[in-house]
Structure 1
Amino acid sequence: MNVYSDISCIKGVGPKARENLNKCGIFTVIDLLLYFPRDYKEVTLYGNLNDANNKEEVIINATLLEIKRDIRTKGGKVLTTLLFSEGENIFKCQWFNQPYMKNHFVIGNIYLLKGKIQIYKGENTLINPSVVKENILSKDTSLTRSIMPIYSLKEGVKNKLLVNLIDQVLKEISIEENLPEEIINRYKFCSLNKAISIIHKPKDINELHEAKRRLKFQELFTYSLKTLLLRNYRNKSNNGTAFKIYDEVNELMSSLPYELTNAQKRVITEILADQKQSRCMNRLVQGDVGSGKTIVAIIALFNIVKNGYQGAFMVPTEILAKQHYKEMLKILDAFNVKVELLTGSTTKKQKEKIKEDLKAGNIDIIIGTHTLIEDDVEFYNLGLIITDEQHRFGVMQRSKFFNKGANIDVLVMTATPIPRTMALYLYGDLDISLIDELPPGRQKIHTYCIDIKKKDRAYNFAQREIDEGRQVYIVCPLVEENEDLKLSSVEKLYNELKQSYFQNIEIAILHGKMSSKDKDAIMERFKSNEIKILISTTVIEVGINVPNASLMVVENSERFGLAQLHQLRGRVGRGQYKSYCILLSEIKNEVTKQRMETMVNSSDGFYIAEQDLKIRGTGEIFGLRQHGDEGFILSNLAEDMNLLKEANKEAKYIIKSEDENYKQLINYIYNKLQNSSKYICFN
C-alpha cells in the first residue's frame, strides 16, 4: 500500500464501501488521509462513573454482568438491556430496536463503551452506546479528555468507518516529508506525517492547534512557491505574441456614447502595454461594482481581433453571458467583428455550427459559460482569454480553458473587493490593475438597516417605489423553506407577499434551480417592466443590469457576507433614479450590528472588505476560501494572513537560493504544477 493506492486496497473496503467512499471524493489512500475532520467533539473518559454529569458524552471501561431479556415498550419498540459493572458501580446499557446488539457481548468480558449517560433517580444508563475497539484509558487515569473527530458524511459512510480506515492506514504507511528541514526547525513544526496523524487523532486542543498550524503553513508555502514560480517563468519567457496596437482601438473608444473614466483609461493602457510585449499577459483587473470592467474587456478583445486572433470571454452565468453578448454586439456593430454566444441552453444544432465556425476561424469573439471548456470546443487561433468573476470557476476548469491555446494572454476580471495587500499574496502570479473610480452619473445607493420585525416599513416603501414606476428586487437566503433554519425562502415569501402587501402587483421568483430558459424568460419580463417585483436568491448578484430597478430589500441580511451584500446592492442605482437598499436583519450581537453599520455607512467595496476582515477575521470575502481549489484544505486566507506572509517570505528565499536541495524542491513543485496535481500542497 502507498498513498496513491486505490482505496479498495484497505482491509474492509469492498465494492459497496468503495462506491460510497467515492461519493465523498475518496478514491485513493491520500484522498482518505486528507479527508480532514470538519469538527471535533470533546468526550470525557471516566474511570469513575460517579464523576459523570447527566446527558454527557462519556467513555467507560466496564465488565458485562448480565444480558437481560428483551422487552417491548408501550410504543412498540424493542428494548435491549445489558448490565455492566464499573468498579463498585452497576449501570445499564440500553438499545432501542437493536436486539442484535446483545450478540456482540460476552458475560465477563471487559468493554470500552462510548455513549450519552442518562441519570434518573440515581440510576445510570448509557443510551445506544457503541464499543470503542482500543482501550484508550491508561490504567492510572481517573479522568481524561478525549477529542473525537467528526467527518462530513454521505449516505453509506459512517463516522466510525472513516475513523477505523484512517487508523488502519496510519499504522501501515508513512507520508514523506517535503518541507525543508531548516523551515521545520525555524518554526518548530512537527513532521508532516505526525501532523496528519494528529489531525485525525488529537490528544488535546494544543496538539491539534500545532498540527493545523503545520498543515496550513504547508499549504500556504506551496501555494506561494507555485505563484512565484509561475510569475518568474512568465517574466523570463518570451514565447508569447507581441501584438500591434491598432488605431481602430482609439476609434472604438471615441465611438462610445459615454466618456471613459481616468481609471478605465489607465487600466486599458496597462493591458495594451502587456499586449505589445512578447511575454504572455497574465493580469487581474479588480473593479468595484459598476466601475465599468466590461468595456475594458471589450477593448482588450477588439485589439486581439484586429491582430488576426480570436478572443474568448467566459462568465459564470448564462444571464450574464447573454447580457455581455448583447452589449458587445451593440458596441462592435460598426467594426465588422463576428461575435457569438455559446451556453448550456444553446441548441445542439447551433452548438455544432458555432464549434465548426470557431475551429475554422469564422468567429472572432466567443462569449459563454463553462460550456467553453468542453473538450470538443477548438479554436483556430486563440489569442486572449478573459474570465469574469474568476473565483466562480474551479482551478481545474480554468486550467482546461487556458490549455485551449498555446502561449495565450490571460485577463482575469473580478468585482469581488479584495484588499490590495491580500490580493498581492492571493494572486502572486498576476499583475494587478485597479479600476478605482465609478463612471459619472452612477446613483448613490441609500442604505438602511431595519429590524426584521418591522419589515412592513420596507414593503410599504416598496409599494411607493412601484407607484412611481420603479421596480424592486427582494433577496432571500433560501430557495425552499427549511425547518431547521428559520430564514426567509423565495417560495414562502412569494406566497406571503402575494397574499398580503402586493395582491395586485406582478411578482416573479428567480433562483438557481430553475432552467436557463425559465430564468431568461423571467429576466426579460423584468427588464421590460412587466414584472414589478423580483424575489430571488443571490443568482442576481453578478452583473444583472436593469436601470429601472431602484430598490433592493435583503431578507436575513446578517446571513450574507459583506462583500456579497455589496455585490447585491450594486444591482440597483444603475439608472437615473434615486436608489435604495434596505437590509432586514435580526441583530442579536455586537458583531452583526457592526457589520450592518459598515454597509449603511460605506459604498466602497474595498473598505467594506477590510472592515469585514477586522470585525470577524474570517473569509466571508468571496474567493478567499476555496476548499479543494488551489490545493487548500485547511487554510483560510483571510484569517491566516500572517502565516501566509511568513510562507511567502520563505518561498521567495528558496526561489532565489542557489542551494541544490532547494532547486530540487522547486523542480518537484513545478512538475506538480504541470500535472495539475489535485493535492499539490501535500504529495
Structure 2
Amino acid sequence: MTSEISGTSHLTSSVRYAKGVGEAKARLLKRLGIETILDLLWHFPTHYEDRSSITPIARVLPGKKQVIQGRLIVVSRLTPRRNFTIIKAAVKDETSVIYAIWYNQDYVRQVLRKGAEILISGKVQWNRGEKQINVEEFELLTGSEEDSINLRRIVPFYPLTQGLSHRMLRRIIKTNLEEKSSYLEDPLPEDIKKRYSLISLREALDNIHFPEDMAKEARARQRLVFEEFFLLQSALAAKKKDQKRQPGISFKTEIGLLNRFLASLPFTLTLSQKKVIEEILADMRKPEPMNRLLQGDVGSGKTIVAAASLITAMANGYQAALMAPTEILAQQHHISFRELLHPLRITPVLLVSDLPKKERENALAGTREGRVRLIIGTHALIQEEVEFHNLGTVVIDEQHRFGVMQRLRLRRKGKSPDVLVMTATPIPRTLALTSHGDLDLSTIDELPPGRRSIITKWASEKRRNEVYRFLDDKLKEGKQTYFVFPIIEESEELDLKAALSAHQH
C-alpha cells in the first residue's frame, strides 16, 4: 500500500517517462510489477551489503564474508570434470593477490576484462596454499560518479529480471528519488509521527534505498511498515463505519425458541460461551448489520455459539445459512445441527456440489420459497442459482479459507444480513484488529469441563521410527491414531507425499 500523492501526474505517469528509463527498460521494469514512477520508488531492496569498509586483500580472514576491491590480472576457465566449470580470476590490490572463484557460471568469462577494476563480496578460504574468495556478488567499476552509490557505503540489492543489473536499477531509483520525492505528500498526521517518533516519508524513502547506516535503515523500515498498517486500519475503519450506516435487521432476542434450545443441551455452557453469545445477541438487536469474528480453539464450543445466532434469526421468521470451506466439513456441520436442532423440529438442508439432482432441486426450491429455514453448504451457496427468500443471518466457518469477494457474494443473497465468521486459528488481538479491522472480535478463551488442551509436537524425518513407536504404544492402549497427507495419489506436478503410497509403506 502506498502513500497519498499530490502532483499525481508526476508520480502515476508511466515509468517510461522516468529519467534514465525509456521504452526498452520500461518493458523490463514491467516484469517486476513496476509500471509507474510511484511503483519505482516503492520497489524496495531485499537486502544490503556494507561496502563502507573494503578489506585490503592482505588482511582478509578465512571463513568470513568480506568485500575486496582490486584489478583483474588473469582470467582462466577450468573444467575439472564433465559438466562442471570453474572461472578463476587473479585479483590484485596494493597489498596482495587473491583468486576469485565462480562455479558453473560460464557467462562471467565474457564479462571479465583483464585490467578492469572489480569489487567482490564473498567468503574467503585457503585452498591448497592459495587464498581464494568464493564470489557471491561482484561489480565491475567504471571510475565514474555513478560508483558513489555502489562503493564505500551500504549498498542496496533489489529484485531483478534479465536485462536489468543492480547498478542500473540503483542509478534509476537514486535519480528519480532525488527528482520526484518533492511531489510526495506524507499521509501520516504530524501528531501521529510525533507520538510514535516516526521520521518523515522523504527521509524514510532515502534511507530504505540508500541508508547511511543500518540504524537509519531500521527507522525507515519501521516508518514505512507503520504507514502501511495505518492506512490499512484507516481503510478498514472507514469500511466498518460505512457498514454501520447500512440498514440491517433488528432481531428480537428474548425468544422462547432460543431458551428451549439452550435448556435442551446435555451440558452447561462455559462462562466464555455465555459471554460471547450475549455479545452476538447484543449485535443482533441493533438495527445495523452484525459483522463479528468469533475465534476459539477446536473443542471450545463455537458450534453452540453459532447455533444461537442461527436460531435467533429463524425464530424471527428469517432464513439462516452456514458456509463451510469443504464438503466434508459441511457434511459434519449438517449432521451436528440435525442432532442439535431436532428438539426444536428444525431440519437443516445440505447443499454441496455432488448432491443428487433431485435433492439439489428440492433444496434450491425450498430455499427460494422460504420453506428451508437453515441451509448448510460450501461455496455452492454463493452460486447464482441459489436464491434465498429472506436471509437474515450468515455463519462462515474457517473464514480465512474464503476470499473477501466470496463472503460478499453470500452476504448479497439477503438484505444486509448479520454475519458471524468463525476461526479456530489463534489470532493475536493486535493482528486480528489489523487484518480484520472491519469486524468486531469475540473470543472463547476456555474449554468445556473435561476437555483437555491439545498438544502439538513436531518431529523431523530422522525421528520417524520414534513416532511410529509412540503411535504403536497408543494403539496397544486401545486408542486410535491417524495420518493426514496433503494429497491422495502421487503427482508429477507436486512434490508432496501421497496417502496411497504411504499406506503401502
TM-score of the alignment, normalized to the shorter chain, above 0.5 = yes
One of 498, 510, 519 as aligned partner of 2:484: 510
Q: Is the 8 A contact 1:147 1:204 kept in 2?
A: no
Equivalent position of 1:409 in the other structure: 418
Equivalent position of 1:311 in the other structure: 320
Q: Is the 8 A contact 1:387 1:411 kept in 2?
A: yes
Q: Is the 8 A contact 1:321 1:369 kept in 2?
A: yes
One-letter code of the match for 1:191?
S
One-letter code of the match for 1:277?
K
Q: Assess, with a 3 A threshold, how the Cα gap between structure 1 residues 304 and 178 changes in structure 2: closer, same or farther.
A: same
Distance 1:39 1:348 in 2: 57
TM-fit CA distance, 1:259: 4.2
Distance 1:41 1:348 in 2: 64
Equivalent position of 2:54 in the other structure: 46
One of 287, 296, 302 as aligned partner of 1:293: 302
One-letter code of the match for 1:146?
I
TM-fit CA distance, 1:234: 5.0
1:340 pairs with 2:350: yes
One-letter code of the match for 2:175?
K
Distance 1:391 1:405 in 2: 22
Q: Is the 8 A contact 1:284 1:433 kept in 2?
A: yes
Q: Is the 8 A contact 1:148 1:201 kept in 2?
A: yes
One-letter code of the match for 2:350?
E
1:59-89 superposed Cα distances (whole Å, 9 cap, x missing partner): 4333344455x45435564444444432353
Q: Assess, with a 3 A threshold, how the Cα gap between structure 1 residues 51 and 148 changes in structure 2: closer, same or farther.
A: farther
Aligned ranges 1:471-490 → 2 under 5 Å: 471-473=480-482
1:244 pairs with 2:252: yes
Q: Is the 8 A contact 2:321 2:374 kept in 1?
A: yes
Distance 2:341 2:129 in 1: 83
Identity %: 35
One-letter code of the match for 2:345?
F
Distance 1:198 1:454 in 2: 46
Distance 1:280 1:95 in 2: 63
TM-fit CA distance, 1:215: 1.5
Q: What RMSD, in angstroms, separates the aligned Cα atoms of the two structures?
A: 4.8
1:411-444 superposed Cα distances (whole Å, 9 cap, x missing partner): 133344556687667755544444445434x344
Equivalent position of 1:130 in the other structure: 138
Please say which of residues 354-363 and 94-103 is displaced more in the overlay.
354-363
Distance 1:366 1:33 in 2: 50
TM-fit CA distance, 1:341: 3.2
TM-fit CA distance, 1:210: 0.4
1:41-61 superposed Cα distances (whole Å, 9 cap, x missing partner): 656751622232225444433
1:146 pairs with 2:154: yes
Distance 2:87 2:15 in 1: 36
Equivalent position of 2:4 in the other structure: none
Equivalent position of 2:231 in the other structure: 222
Distance 2:47 2:368 in 1: 49
Equivalent position of 1:615 in the other structure: none
1:367 pairs with 2:376: yes
One-letter code of the match for 1:386?
V
TM-fit CA distance, 1:304: 1.8
One of 306, 311, 325 as aligned partner of 1:302: 311
Q: Is the 8 A contact 1:284 1:412 kept in 2?
A: yes
1:466 pairs with 2:475: yes
Distance 1:81 1:435 in 2: 64
1:528-550 superposed Cα distances (whole Å, 9 cap, x missing partner): xxxxxx99xxxxxxxxxxxxxxx
Q: Is the 8 A contact 1:44 1:58 kept in 2?
A: no
TM-fit CA distance, 1:13: 5.5
Aligned ranges 1:496-507 → 2 under 5 Å: none
Equivalent position of 1:551 in the other structure: none
One of 83, 86, 101 as aligned partner of 2:108: 101
Distance 2:360 2:143 in 1: 63
TM-fit CA distance, 1:195: 2.3
1:371-414 superposed Cα distances (whole Å, 9 cap, x missing partner): 55567766554322223344454556545554554423121333
Distance 2:47 2:16 in 1: 26
Aligned length: 469
TM-fit CA distance, 1:278: 0.8
TM-fit CA distance, 1:466: 2.9
Q: Assess, with a 3 A threshold, how the Cα gap between structure 1 residues 92 and 233 changes in structure 2: closer, same or farther.
A: same
SS of the residue 2:186 aligns to: coil
Distance 2:456 2:425 in 1: 22
One-letter code of the match for 1:168?
I
Q: Assess, with a 3 A threshold, how the Cα gap between structure 1 residues 43 and 159 changes in structure 2: closer, same or farther.
A: farther
Q: Assess, with a 3 A threshold, how the Cα gap between structure 1 residues 388 and 138 changes in structure 2: closer, same or farther.
A: same
Equivalent position of 1:190 in the other structure: 199
SS of the residue 2:109 aligns to: helix
Q: Assess, with a 3 A threshold, how the Cα gap between structure 1 residues 28 and 421 changes in structure 2: closer, same or farther.
A: closer
Q: Is the 8 A contact 1:340 1:363 kept in 2?
A: no
One-letter code of the match for 2:288?
R
1:543-599 superposed Cα distances (whole Å, 9 cap, x missing partner): xxxxxxxxxxxxxxxxxxxxxxxxxxxxxxxxxxxxxxxxxxxxxxxxxxxxxxxxx
Question: In terms of Rg, which structure is larger?
Answer: 2
Equivalent position of 1:60 in the other structure: 68
TM-fit CA distance, 1:280: 1.5
Q: Assess, with a 3 A threshold, how the Cα gap between structure 1 residues 514 and 234 changes in structure 2: closer, same or farther.
A: same
1:444-495 superposed Cα distances (whole Å, 9 cap, x missing partner): 459799999999887666445434532125xxxxxxxxxxxxxxxxxxxxxx
Distance 2:209 2:246 in 1: 47
Q: Is the 8 A contact 1:231 1:429 kept in 2?
A: yes
One of 111, 114, 119 as aligned partner of 1:112: 119
Equivalent position of 1:168 in the other structure: 172
SS of the residue 1:319 aligns to: helix
Distance 2:317 2:143 in 1: 72
Q: Is the 8 A contact 2:29 2:35 kept in 1?
A: no
TM-fit CA distance, 1:214: 0.5
Q: Is the 8 A contact 1:389 1:412 kept in 2?
A: yes
Equivalent position of 1:273 in the other structure: 282
One-letter code of the match for 1:511?
F
TM-fit CA distance, 1:96: 4.2
One-letter code of the match for 2:69?
N
Q: Is the 8 A contact 1:263 1:435 kept in 2?
A: yes
